Amino acid sequence: MPRVSATMLSANNTSRGDAGMLDMILQEARRLGVEERRRLIDLLRAQVFAELGRSGDADREPDACPRCGGTHLVRKGHDRDGSQRWACRSCGRTLSRKTMGLLGYSKLKEDVWASYVEHACAGGTLRECARACGVCLSTSWFMRMRLCEVMGRALAPFRSGPTVSCQVDGTYLNESLAGNRSRSRVGMPRGPHRCGGDVRERGISNLKVCVLCGANDLGDEFCELADRGRPTDEALGSALRAVGEGTPVSTDGLQGYARVLPRLGVSCHDATPAREARHGELGMVNAMHARLKGFLARFRGISTRRLGHYLDWFLWDEQTRRSDADRADTLSGQAATGGYDHTRVALAREPQPFWSYWEERLAMSTVV
């Protein structure tokens, strides 16, 4: 008869005990009413979300004080849940890892955030998420912006190098000035467009914005809001900062690439004319363009002011769709331990990209 170690016996007894406890919980849950079951689900969801917030790197020292930016931090006591607190030697205030976390100053409970994450990952609209979580429409939008910032912080870096080939190409979206008509100090420099449409100029014009996209052989991708209309060399250089030295790069026939990419130290630049690029020469990045436009189309007119947040959401969606883990569970863990930079005031004051074009147009019309 083979020997069985005490560790194996203990593990088997533990698994049997857990299974028996789950069976007992299920039997008790069957006796509850519908509303009581829903309440139980909300309580379990909130407990899981809270446990995720206390796990991970909760005891790791923060990089800097969120109030004064000081980097000299010392340990000082613990919170009620046992998490470590620090004191800033510069301003004397105390903080923890949750101080600038997603739930640090939120008045909403964990179960509300957990429910919102589930509905957002399931493709729910702002109104559907607001109705399911019991919040107003503006709060639902603000929660979406917070989650987009968490997604942006959780993105894996774009890998590049001599052994990784990369394809780069830009796609053009109609500029949307949604939110600038009555709720902005700037106002509307032109007539309103319906859901980002009504752009009557054909081809590339200054009424469109360029989103520069890149994809490599490893499956990594990046999206950058580059410029208004056809991007300048300076805008290309800023948008291509993710491409490292020695990387072989394939692009279309835009002449700006030939001037900018050598400055970045790429090993090889293969420029393909636009007509030939449509036949598979830039297949990876063109397929990425199609997925990006399909992703943005479901939101029915995104303001260009907020486009960067939705690009982060798209990249996060692209990375998680190749994972076996559940998206809602992944985002819940990232949201529970993640942080943010944009407060409500900062989001309200977020500038409209490339606004100098309209300022020049308004100045010229005033002079005339």
Instruction: Specify the pLDDT at position 356.
Output: 84
Instruction: Specify the pLDDT at position 183.
Output: 55
> Where do we find the tokens 């989103």?
211
Residue 362: Cβ within 10 Å count: 13
For residue 352 the two structure tokens come to 């409209």
Quick check: helix, strand or coil at residue 79? coil
Question: Cβ neighbours of residue 168 under 8 Å, at least 6 residues apart?
Answer: 212, 213, 214, 240, 243, 249, 250, 251, 257, 285
DSSP structure class, residue 161: B
Cβ atoms of residues 215 and 195 within 8 Å: no
pLDDT digits (tens, 9 = 90+) for 160-216: 888 899 999 999 998 888 776 655 555 677 777 765 555 666 778 888 999 999 999
Q: pLDDT higher for 181 or 251?
A: 251
Q: pLDDT higher for 18 or 255?
A: 255
pLDDT digits (tens, 9 = 90+) for 265-304: 888 888 887 666 555 678 899 999 999 999 999 888 888 8
**Which sign does the torsion angle of CA 256, 259, 262, 267 carry?**
positive
What value does the mean pLDDT take over residues 350-355? 86
Q: What is the mean pLDDT of the chain?
A: 80
**The one-letter amino acid at 229:** G
Query: How large a percentage of the chain has pLDDT more than 90?
Result: 28
Domain regions of the chain by residue span = 71-97, 101-153+311-368, 166-302
Which of 34-43, 49-58, 72-81 bottoms out in mean pLDDT, i.e. has the lowest?
Answer: 49-58
DSSP structure class, residue 275: H
Residue 135 pLDDT greater than 90, yes or no? yes
Residue 3 pLDDT greater than 60, yes or no? no
Name, of 77-91, 171-185, 222-236, 329-343, the range with top average pLDDT: 222-236
User: What is the CATH code of the structural domain delimited by 166-302?
Assistant: 3.30.420
Q: Residue 275: which of 252, 299, 308 has the closest Cα? A: 252
Cβ atoms of residues 180 and 350 within 8 Å: no
Residue 14: Cβ within 10 Å count: 10
C-alpha torsion 312→315→316→317, nearest 10 = 120
Q: pLDDT higher for 141 or 335?
A: 141
Q: How many CA atoms lie within 13 A of 260 on its CB side?
A: 21
Q: Residue 165: which of 284, 272, 258, 263 has the closest Cα? A: 284
Residue 257 pLDDT greater than 70, yes or no? yes
Q: Residue 338: which of 78, 169, 117 has the closest Cα? A: 117
DSSP string, 303-354: -GGGHHHHHHHHHHHHHHTTSSS-HHHHHHHHHHH-B-S--HHHHHTPPPTT
Q: How many CA atoms lie within 13 A of 140 on its CB side?
A: 18
pLDDT digits (tens, 9 = 90+) for 6-20: 444 444 445 555 567
Q: pLDDT higher for 81 or 304?
A: 304
Crossing angle for the helix pair 283-297 and 307-320, to the nearest 10 degrees: 120
Q: Give 350's pLDDT tier (boundaries 50, 70, 90).
A: confident
Strand partners, 346: none
Name, of 52-66, 241-255, 274-288, the range with top average pLDDT: 241-255
